Amino acid sequence: MNLQEIDRLTKKYDAGETTLKEEELLRAFLSRPNIPVKFRVYRELFGFYEAAKKEEIPDNNFDDKIIELIKTQDRKSISKAKLRSIFSMVALAASVVIIVGFYFYYQSNRNNLGTYSDPEIAYAKTKKILLAVSENLNTGTKELSNIKEFNNGITELYNISSFSDGMKSLEKISIMDKSKKIIQNKNLKK
């Protein structure tokens, strides 16, 4: 068999269009010792299929045995006390990291204290900075006025629960109508 025919068969195999006879031809070609490199992938694939045919299938009770082993195995669970101790250790470590971070931050900024020798200049600068901070804070509070409208909308949504209560009452009436129709139909049949 020539390489062009094998190439055509491998393309058909990849597309899932080969017959059993064509697959046997491929298997026979791929079992040869010296095949081109581009076909070695198919040799491994067909070799896997051959090995899978030889595997033993577990007995019918295999699933039941696995489930039984899972049920009988002791499960380790972390107690609440152990979780608390782990949590407190993590919290302590985080606190230490934050404190050390603040220490190094302030140590690096220690040289630049931003002090003024003239109290009037210091007062003027402080006043300017505080006014800027105040303006920024007031800008943020303007946006919070929309929250009142949002809360009003949520309050109106609570009224929907009374609508739901009304729907439950209507369901009872609907059931009564259905039972009334059933009774009428039975009376008509008599």
Rounded Cα distance between 35 and 37, Å, is 6
Residues counted in the chain: 190
Tell me how many domains the chain contains: 2
CA distances from 16 to 21, 38, 50, 125 (A): 13, 19, 18, 81
In a domain, 40, yes or no: yes
In a domain, 51, yes or no: yes
Please, are residues 13 and 42 in contact by the beta-carbon 8 Å criterion?
A: yes
Rounded to 5, what percent of the chain is helix, strand, coil?
80, 0, 20
Last residue of a domain, one of 56, 80, 97: 56
The pLDDT value recorded for residue 110 is 65
In a domain, 166, yes or no: yes
Residue-number span of the structural domain to which 153 is assigned? 117-190
What is the mean pLDDT for each group of 10 consecutive residues in the chain (190 residues)? 85 89 88 85 84 75 79 63 86 93 80 71 88 78 70 73 72 78 77
pTM passes above 0.75:
no
In a domain, 82, yes or no: no
In a domain, 175, yes or no: yes
Q: How far is CA 60 from the centre of its chain?
A: 36
In a domain, 187, yes or no: yes
The pLDDT value recorded for residue 117 is 78
Please, are residues 39 and 30 in contact by the beta-carbon 8 Å criterion?
A: yes
The pLDDT value recorded for residue 89 is 92
In a domain, 81, yes or no: no
Q: Phi then psi for 109, rounded to 5 degrees?
A: -95, 5
The pLDDT value recorded for residue 136 is 77
In a domain, 129, yes or no: yes
- DSSP letter assigned to residue 7: H
